[in-house]
């Protein structure tokens, strides 16, 4: 952008801290929309918020979550016509759902035929009660026992090869706060929780580093997380600066999406995980149009 060379980098970086950011949705591909909708609504307790079909591009979307998209993090499922399975890879970890009684939820899911891959009980090396369930495509959902929360869809867990570098990237490029970091030497991993507010009130990104593991496969199933911004152009300037220091790259320059006009920019972090920044006002306009 003209004149941007003259702006000292610390001023450019400040924008990410001042901006109005929120986790909007996680985007991923599924092999059968109705099968996933049935599982998420009947077993996981989500609501179907909206659906859209884009026949020209041969795909459909369904949005599900625990509350309206205006205020909640949701999942955006993509069904590509004719594609009935995907490779999830080894890098994607899980989505998490907070519930007041993991034992009860697991019992209900099992009664409906769901695939429980880890029985409820205290997390290894800790006290929080967790369980794991696999959805029909093989995506893992961690069920976490905690008190009432405004945002039950509370984590996206991704594995990374250099935790400190990733923490710096999400702090600087995305303006997230490091909310918690916990090393678990007995089980040879470290986790970091990053986000924009308290991890018990909003969705956070959980990054996991397994000792000695620097590379994972990404498959073709999980796509990205979308986060809101008041200015995609300023945000892309920040990301651009940070990628020069820490790696990653902008994959879509800031600007309106043809046809929809919502302004976005997208980029990869140092491990290749994708984030899309979406203009706040444009996003709300899109939601108004949906009915
Ligand atoms: N090797 C694990 C490290 C992360 C990890 O173990 N996380 C905890 C939750 S914070 C877990 O899954 N524990 C399994 C258990 O308690 O059974 C991975 O890559 O998923």
What's the CA gap between 106 and 45, in Å, rounded?
Answer: 12
Pocket test for ligand 1, best of 123, 131, 188, 211 (most atoms within 8 A of CB): 123
DSSP string, 234-278: HHHHHHHHHHHHH--EEEEEEEEPTTT--EEEEEE-TTS-EEEEE
Query: Would the pLDDT of 147 be above 80?
Result: yes
> Which of the following is catalytic: 69, 142, 151, 206?
142
pLDDT value for 237: 96
C-alpha 141 – ligand 1 centre gap (Å): 12
Nearest CA to 229 out of 216, 239, 220, 219 is that of 239
Q: Tell me what the mean pLDDT of segment 51-68 comes to.
A: 96
**What is the model's pTM?**
0.95
Q: Tell me what the mean pLDDT of segment 233-252 comes to.
A: 97
Please name the fold of domain 9-289. Answer: 2,3-Dihydroxybiphenyl 1,2-Dioxygenase; domain 1 (3.10.180)
Residue 142 annotated as catalytic? yes
Q: Burial, 16: exposed, middle or buried (Cβ in 10 Å; 0-12, 13-18, 19+)?
A: buried
- pLDDT band, residue 9 (cuts 50/70/90): confident
Report which protein residue has its CA nearest ligand 1's atom 1: 210
Lining ligand 1 with CB less than 6 A are 93, 118, 123-124, 159, 187, 189, 191, 208, 210
pLDDT value for 290: 67
- pLDDT band, residue 259 (cuts 50/70/90): confident
C-alpha 42 – ligand 1 centre gap (Å): 26
Tens digit of each residue's pLDDT (9 = 90 or more) over 86-135: 999 999 999 999 999 999 999 999 999 999 999 999 999 899 999 999 99
Report which protein residue has its CA nearest ligand 1's atom 9: 123
DSSP string, the chain: -TTGGGS-HHHHHHHHHHS---EEEEEEE-S-HHHHHHHHHHTS--EEEEEEEEGGGTEEEEEEESS-TTTS-EEEEEEETT------TTTEEEEEEEES-HHHHHHHHHHTT-EEEEEEEEPTTS--EEEEEE-TTS-EEEEEE-S--S-SEEEEEEE-S-HHHHHHHHHHTT--EEEEEEEEGGGTEEEEEEESS-TTTS-EEEEEEETT-------SSEEEEEEEES-HHHHHHHHHHHHHHH--EEEEEEEEPTTT--EEEEEE-TTS-EEEEEEHHHHHHHHHHT-
Q: In the chain, pLDDT over 90 holds for what percent of residues?
A: 93
Nearest atom (ligand 1) to Cα of 118: 17
C-alpha 139 – ligand 1 centre gap (Å): 15
Report which protein residue has its CA nearest ligand 1's atom 8: 123
Nearest atom (ligand 1) to Cα of 94: 20
Pocket test for ligand 1, best of 160, 187, 213 (most atoms within 8 A of CB): 187
C-alpha 218 – ligand 1 centre gap (Å): 18
Nearest atom (ligand 1) to Cα of 157: 20
Nearest CA to 84 out of 22, 19, 35, 27 is that of 35
Q: Burial, 96: exposed, middle or buried (Cβ in 10 Å; 0-12, 13-18, 19+)?
A: buried
Of 41-45, 59-63, 239-243, 286-290, which range is least confident? 286-290
Q: Are 209 and 160 in contact (CB under 8 A)?
A: yes
Query: Would the pLDDT of 194 be above 90?
Result: yes
pLDDT value for 62: 98
What's the CA gap between 35 and 6, in Å, rounded?
Answer: 54
| Cα 161 → chain centroid | 18
Pocket test for ligand 1, best of 130, 140, 155, 212 (most atoms within 8 A of CB): 130
What's the CA gap between 159 and 154, in Å, rounded?
Answer: 17
Q: Tell me what the mean pLDDT of segment 160-179 comes to.
A: 98
């Amino acid at each position: 952008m003209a004149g941007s060379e003259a702006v000292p980098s610390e001023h450019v970086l400040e924008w990410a801290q001042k901006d109005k950011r929120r986790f909007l949705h996680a985007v991923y591909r599924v092999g059968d929309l109705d099968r996933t909708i049935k599982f998420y609504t009947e077993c996981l307790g989500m609501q179907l918020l909206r659906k859209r079909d884009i026949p020209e591009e041969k795909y459909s979307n369904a949005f599900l979550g625990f509350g309206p998209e205006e205020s909640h993090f949701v999942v955006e499922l993509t069904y590509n016509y004719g594609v009935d399975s995907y490779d999830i890879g080894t890098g994607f970890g899980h989505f998490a759902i907070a519930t007041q009684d993991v034992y009860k939820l697991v019992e209900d899911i099992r009664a409906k035929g769901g695939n429980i891959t880890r029985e409820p009980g205290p997390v290894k090396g800790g006290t929080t009660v967790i369980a794991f369930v696999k959805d029909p495509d093989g995506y893992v959902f961690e069920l976490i026992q905690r008190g009432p929360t405004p945002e039950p869809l509370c984590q996206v867990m991704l594995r990374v090869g250099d935790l400190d570098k990733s923490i710096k990237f999400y702090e600087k490029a995305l303006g997230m706060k490091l909310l918690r970091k916990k090393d678990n030497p007995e089980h040879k991993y470290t986790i970091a929780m990053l986000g924009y507010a308290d991890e018990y009130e909003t969705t956070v990104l959980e990054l996991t580093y397994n000792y000695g593991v620097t590379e994972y496969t990404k498959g073709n199933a999980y796509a990205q997380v979308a986060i809101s911004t008041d200015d995609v152009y300023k945000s892309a300037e920040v990301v651009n600066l940070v990628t020069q220091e820490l790696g990653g790259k902008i994959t879509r320059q800031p600007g309106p999406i043809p046809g929809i006009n919502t302004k976005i920019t997208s980029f990869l972090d140092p491990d290749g995980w994708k984030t899309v920044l979406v203009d706040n006002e444009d996003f709300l306009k899109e939601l108004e149009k949906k009915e």
